[in-house]
Amino acid sequence: MNKSQQNASIAVIQFMTKPLTSFLSILFLVASIAVANSPDRAAIASAHPMATQAGQEIFEQGGNAFDAAVAIAAALAVVEPQSSGLGGGAFFLLHVAESGRQVFVDAREVAPAAATADMYLQENGDPIPRASVIGPLAAGIPGQPAGLAHLAQKYGRLPLAESLAPAIRYAEQGIVANVRMLAGLRFRRKTYDRWPAFGKVFYPDGEIPEPGAVIKQPDLMNTLKRLAADGFDGFYRGETARLLVDGSRASGGIWSRDDLAGYRIVEREPVAGEINGVRIISAPPPSSGGITLINMLNILQGFDFATMDSATRKHLTIEAMRRAFRDRAEYLGDPDFVTVPVERLVSPLYAAGQRASIRLDKATSSDALPGIGPAGKGDQTTHFSVIDSEGNRVAGTMSINLWYGSGFMAPGTGVIFNNEMDDFSIKPGVLNSYDLVGTAVNSIEPGKRPLSSMTPTFLESDRGVAILGTPGGSRIITMVLQAAMAWMNGADANEMVSLKRFHHQFYPDVVVYEEGALTAEEQQGLQQRGHQLKKSPRAYGNMNVVTWDAESGKVDAATDPRGISEGRVY
């Protein structure tokens, strides 16, 4: 792509973020951007230095941001096995610089054909304890391998095999156990020996390895090699598919060869909104992330924060969270199965109605909002952000759900099965692992995608671009909200990832906050209004942000200080 095409696509973005600007000033804008701006450098922010390194290698081999995304995602499957992997799902938000097209690649898991709405319930209707989180029955049909093959084939410049090469090398040579991996292994300790293939890799002597131990994944290496050689068919058909299905069924799972062969990624329109000249492009259903994010921002844009003290600002932010998460439970599910009123939920007019119900001096009890029946945690999942020197970008969020997914690995594959079925509502009113309440719109049906909170997002304005996202279950959305608001107020990438966080999700009716997120005065102001506060026992999230400043052309990359990685600009 030549520079003028690239600049034209940038101009399109600027035009969209400035709908009220006069025609003359738009012309000026286009001209000035054409002269001043291009991200002549690439940048990556991911959760692991080896994944970032994998992306860099691919840039050095002539790959674009989409090839780098394949390399980073595949490497994370090996070096951060507690968070994502070939046995899980992924969302990739893409910006194609040449055309200006923004597309959302939905590689989310789907329920197997043999799944039923009541598969995790006892005869008396009570949930079977842990059935939706432990073992192969908890796993949806994985989407990430199909997503990687699709990115490489449709958007990349390099063959899939080249982009997978770093991950294959890491699986063969081994990775050094780090503190986050080991924390995940402690979490999984009780069930690790129920499925020996998993235990053999991650508890080699029947114990949690020492920090610094080298963990090799030869079966995963072979699975990656088959994917590299044959693309989609190398995972969803043939030897890998046989091993996955045999392994699943031998241990109580319900996957079939047809489930795997029939898996399809879906390209969807991202959801978009605009607040004060900043365009928000984010994840559509089956993620709840983009709609909930835009809804919260729409509610908040009607308040004049500049005239308010910080306790009032935080109170209003919490009230926006409460209302948007209520609607999440009521309306959101897989759009291929249920009708989701997307336009209404992202409309500023709808948000104005929600805003009108907020009092400045008093918290609304969640029970007082229109009811959906009685009704998170963490660092599970992973996110990376990448931009190349031409302006192509990817915000990718991938997951196997809880740490090490379901704890099940099919023998001979190295593939850890997700437990994403727990993101369905297994029964209206029953909470999932993130304490999220659900309704029938997110009930289990064969082939349906469970509702997600993953929120890969672009922010675009005159100022430039931010590419962001994070792991953290239901808290993902409020982390992205806070980082987006910070960017709108001038924060840089490092400030965005470092922000102290707070969260409310309708039920439970509690504000969870990190140490340092609320000053004593703010805590008092919130409590006086009736908010119940709960300090998180530890910091949460692992946000990765890349920014591009339109005026200077400067590219920046920042990783979360809570994680173990660092951003790189090339």
Give, in order, the Cα–Cα distances in Å from 566 to each of 51, 123, 288, 340, 550.
11, 50, 28, 38, 23
Q: Catalytic pick from 240, 317, 381, 478?
A: 381
C-beta closer to ligand GLY: residue 175 or 395: 395
- 231 lines the binding site for ligand GLY (CB under 6 A): no
CB of 454 to ligand GLY, least distance (A): 5
Per-residue tokens: 356: 């009108």
C-beta closer to ligand GLY: residue 243 or 444: 444
C-beta closer to ligand GLY: residue 292 or 399: 399
**Cis, peptide link before residue 508, omega less than 30° from 0:** yes
Query: Is 381 a residue of the active site?
Result: yes
Q: Torsion angle of alpha carbons 193, 194, 199, 200, nearest 10°?
A: 100
C-beta closer to ligand GLY: residue 274 or 420: 420
**Binding window for ligand GLY (CB under 6 A); candidates: 154-162, 218-226, 446-454, 530-538:** 446-454
- Give the DSSP letter of residue 153: I
Please identify which residue in 438, 473, 541, 563 interacts with ligand GLY, judged by CB under 6 A: 473
Helix (H) / strand (E) containing 393: strand 393-399
Q: Using CA atoms, how far apart are residues 479 and 496, in angstroms rounded to an integer?
A: 9
CB of 163 to ligand GLY, least distance (A): 24
Q: Any alpha helices (H) in 89-190, and if so which ranges?
A: 144-150, 160-173, 179-187
517 CB contacts (<8 Å, ≥6 apart)? 500, 501, 502
C-beta closer to ligand GLY: residue 106 or 388: 106
**Binding window for ligand GLY (CB under 6 A); candidates: 451-459, 481-489, 506-514, 521-529:** 451-459
Please identify which residue in 13, 426, 454, 511 interacts with ligand GLY, judged by CB under 6 A: 454
Closest by CA to 94, choosing from 49, 150, 18, is 150
Site map 416..435 versus ligand GLY, x via CB under 6 A: ----x--x------------
Do strands 278-282 and 271-275 pair parallel, antiparallel, or not at all (unpaired)? antiparallel
- Give the DSSP letter of residue 194: G
C-beta closer to ligand GLY: residue 37 or 292: 292
- 401 lines the binding site for ligand GLY (CB under 6 A): yes
- Of residues 369-398, those binding ligand GLY (CB under 6 A): 381
Q: Using CA atoms, how far apart are residues 167 and 144, in angstroms rounded to an integer?
A: 14
Q: How many residues bind ligand GLY (CB under 6 A)?
A: 9
**Binding window for ligand GLY (CB under 6 A); candidates: 2-10, 219-227, 245-253, 450-458:** 450-458
- 399 lines the binding site for ligand GLY (CB under 6 A): yes
Tell me the angle at which helices 310-331 and 520-528 cross, rounded to the nearest 10 degrees: 60
CB of 436 to ligand GLY, least distance (A): 9
Q: Using CA atoms, how far apart are residues 458 and 456, in angstroms rounded to an integer?
A: 7
- Give the DSSP letter of residue 419: -
CB of 471 to ligand GLY, least distance (A): 8
* DSSP codes, 21-72: S-HHHHHHHHHHHHHH----S-EEE-SSHHHHHHHHHHHHTT--HHHHHHHH
Angle of CA points 144, 147, 152, to nearest 5°: 130
Contact criterion met (CB below 8 Å) for 450 and 286: yes
CB of 91 to ligand GLY, least distance (A): 8
**Binding window for ligand GLY (CB under 6 A); candidates: 3-11, 62-70, 448-456, 556-564:** 448-456
Nearest residue to ligand GLY by CB is: 452
C-beta closer to ligand GLY: residue 219 or 330: 330
C-beta closer to ligand GLY: residue 90 or 465: 90
Catalytic residues: 381
What is the binding site for ligand GLY (CB under 6 A)? 381, 399, 401, 420, 423, 452-454, 473
